[in-house]
Structure 1
Amino acid sequence: MSQYCIYEVIGLGGYSTIYRGQKKNTKNTDEYFAVKKVHKSQEPEVLEEFATD
């Protein structure tokens, strides 16, 4: 997540949090991304599931 500026939480789930972010060092200031961060405590159980997403 270090390559993104994170602005706000846009979603929460049992396994992850979704943030609205923007890539750092970009010239396109109108381009935003949904950035998903898997909760560490859940990572072993869901890694395989997210690999196929």
Structure 2
Amino acid sequence: MWIFIELVITFILMPFVIKWEDWGWHACIIYVGCCMMFTPIVGVLVYKFAFR
């Protein structure tokens, strides 16, 4: 059940985290991978600061 909740949070936050210029498979897979490796909140921070 926790995995499903993480995916819902990840996909809801995705349009707010990934810039519209970067919308592609590469950026989306990295973002979802960061959110699944860590929690979605930490994954957002890792994506924003590590992959600028």
TM over 0.5: no
Which structure has more RCO (C-alpha within 8 Å, separation ≥ 6)?
A: 2
TM-score by length of 1: 0.28
Larger Cα-atom Rg: 1
Structure with greater helix share of residues: 2
Relative to its length, the structure with more strand (as a share) is 1
